[in-house]
Amino acid sequence: MDLRALNIVVLVAAGGLFLASGTQREHSLLADGNTEAVRTLETGYAVHGDAASLTALTQGYLDAQAPGLAISAVEGSPAKLQSDAKVQHTYARALLEAGRANDALAAEQRVLDTCAAVAEGKASSCDSWLLASATRRSDILKELVQLGIEDAQAHPEASAVAYQSATRQASLAAR
């Protein structure tokens, strides 16, 4: 009788654990509400495979607060797409959000180099908005690197100082 009671206790305990465990599901890599939008962008990149769809996908990952996925998307793309100025610009933002300010500065410098080649007539993928945005972000990144800040989100006070220093403007009062 002792063995039978022990078997019943073990069986009841195992059943209790089974009922208490519940259903386990995988967790989404993206923030809630962004899954469908990113899925659409992923499909668009898979279909078109061009720089515009890669830029949109990278931006979608950034909007979903997943800079690691944005970095992987760019680094896993063909070299021709990686060299596009708009792709490099969103790549730089992803690197910055991932805490890699030095790498972000290098990426923004590649954007500025591409835009300089456009000014000389050697390339055609740079517009005035991109040039202005890359110049401004490059200035901010230079200040971050100069202050020794690799991760801007980990050091918000120092990042604010770098931002203010990079964006300050002097004005003259005329008499």
| CB proximity list for 146: less than 8 A, separation 6 or greater | 162
pLDDT for position 1: 61
pLDDT for position 168: 80
Query: How does pLDDT run along the chain (175 residues), one tens digit per residue?
Result: 688 888 898 999 988 888 777 776 666 777 667 889 999 999 999 999 999 999 999 999 999 999 999 999 999 999 999 999 999 999 999 999 999 999 999 999 999 999 888 767 765 678 889 999 999 999 999 999 999 999 998 999 988 888 888 888 656 666 6
pLDDT for position 50: 95
> Could you state, in order of their start, the residue ranges of all structural domains in the chain?
33-166
Alpha-carbon span 135 to 38, nearest angstrom: 28
Contact 34, 64 (CB under 8 A): yes
Burial pattern 105-119, b for ≥16 Cβ within 10 A else e, equals: bebbbbbbebbeebe
pLDDT for position 69: 95
pLDDT for position 175: 65
pLDDT for position 33: 74
Q: Coil, helix or strand for 98?
A: coil
Among the CATH numbers 1.25.40, 3.40.1000, 2.10.260, 3.40.50, which is that of 33-166?
Answer: 1.25.40
Amino acid at 28: S
